[in-house]
Amino acid sequence: MRALVQRVSRARVTVEGEVVGEIGDGLCVFVGVTHDDDNPRARRLAEKVWQLRVLADADGVMNRSLSDTAGEALVVSQFTLYGDTRRGRRPSWIDAAPGAVAEPLVEVFCTALRELGARVATGRFGAHMEVELVNDGPVTISLEL
């Protein structure tokens, strides 16, 4: 699994003009799933995001995590994180898991984050989504398990 994590001051997802997920200060997490991912890996990735120390403390130092702040996370499934651009000009999506495999694992990831204590908002799996965010810092971290 891959996650692209951005520290945000706000973020939201709309589908056909309807806001389906929205947060204030926290993390916007784009999650990609590949063929050999499983439930334990999804839970480990959630724990890593929960403990990731990229939120500012009182001195403005990246020293706090969602676990320290009971922060919010907006989770958006994004198969394009597994786009392979090594050859040609059009990405290959062969490494991205099909929706029937990816959707349950993204849900396991979200459930694990909620069980850890995060307030989790989500996009809508498989929909054409518009994601708006204000990257705070900017801070963007790539995680992979």
Residue 80 annotated to the active site: yes
Q: Is 29 exposed, middle or buried (0-12, 13-18, 19+ CB in 10 A)?
A: buried
CA distance 39 to 49: 15
Question: Within 10 Å of residue 60's Cβ, how many Cβ atoms?
Answer: 7
The answer to whether residue 14 is catalytic is: no
- Out of 6, 30, 34, 78, pick the active-site residue: 78
- Tokens describing residue 74: 């907006």
- DSSP characters for 10-39? EEEEEETTEEEEEESSEEEEEEE-BTT--H
Catalytic residue among 79, 85, 111, 140: 79
In the numeric block, which tokens belong to residue 61?
């130092």
Q: Is 6 a catalytic residue?
A: no
Catalytically active residues, by annotation: 78-80
